[in-house]
Amino acid sequence: MQDACESRAVVPEGLAAGNGSLTNPYCRTVEPMLTTFKGVASYIIPKVDVNVAGTFSSRPGVSLSANVTYTNADMLNPARATLGRNLNAAANVTVNVLEPNTQFGDRIDQLDIRLGKILRFGRTRTNLNLDIVNAFNSNDNLAYSATFGPTWPAPTSVLTARLFRLSAQLDF
């Protein structure tokens, strides 16, 4: 929870009610409890010395914002009420019209898998590994455009596509 209502009430730039400002009308925000799940497992299959491992994570999506930019002409009356004057002729004000922590993007789920073969030669041990990152090849959204408009909320970043990686480790 973030609560700045009392502080804003004593600051001259605050609104008359003391509960917000022109650019940030939300002085008290409460983030809901969101669950994150992460799991890790690893097992070496005996006799064949094959390592099977995986990690899974499921986390909540990011909090969405919907920012609208107002020009001096758009903000004439609210600016006068707050500042007692007009904005600078070239000034723009950006306002988040969506209360923080009320809307979230989709959950982000990811599964990574490792298959490895263990080779033993005398006192040395070699691991040959195949890693599969994002095994489900999900395209979950990691970030969204914060600008409110006809395409809001447009994804701006997605989970990296499935990736295969080969590696080797030599222990002596």
> How does pLDDT run across 56-76, given as a tens digit for each residue?
999 998 888 888 877 766 655
pLDDT, position 54: 97
| Domain assignment of residue 20, yes or no | no
| Domain assignment of residue 46, yes or no | yes
| Domain assignment of residue 129, yes or no | yes
Given a cut of 50, whether residue 27 has pLDDT beyond it is yes
| Domain assignment of residue 163, yes or no | yes
pLDDT, position 56: 96
- pLDDT over 70 percentage in the chain: 78
| Domain assignment of residue 7, yes or no | no
Q: Annotate 122-162 with DSSP letters as a single string.
A: TTEEEEEEEEEETTT----EEEE--B-STT-S-EEEEPPPP
Give this prediction's pTM. Answer: 0.68
| Domain assignment of residue 166, yes or no | yes
Distance CA 79, CA 44 (A): 67
Task: State the SS3 of 39-89.
Answer: EEEEEEECCCCEEEEEEEEEECCCECCCEEEEECCCCHHHHHHHHCCCCCC
> How does pLDDT run across 87-141, given as a tens digit for each residue?
666 667 777 888 888 889 889 999 999 999 999 999 999 999 999 999 999 888 8
End-to-end CA distance of the chain: 53
| Domain assignment of residue 19, yes or no | no
| Domain assignment of residue 73, yes or no | no
**Residues sharing a CB contact under 8 Å with residue 46, sequence separation 6 or more, in sequence order:** none
Domain encompassing residue 162? 34-65+100-171
Total domains in the fold of the chain: 1
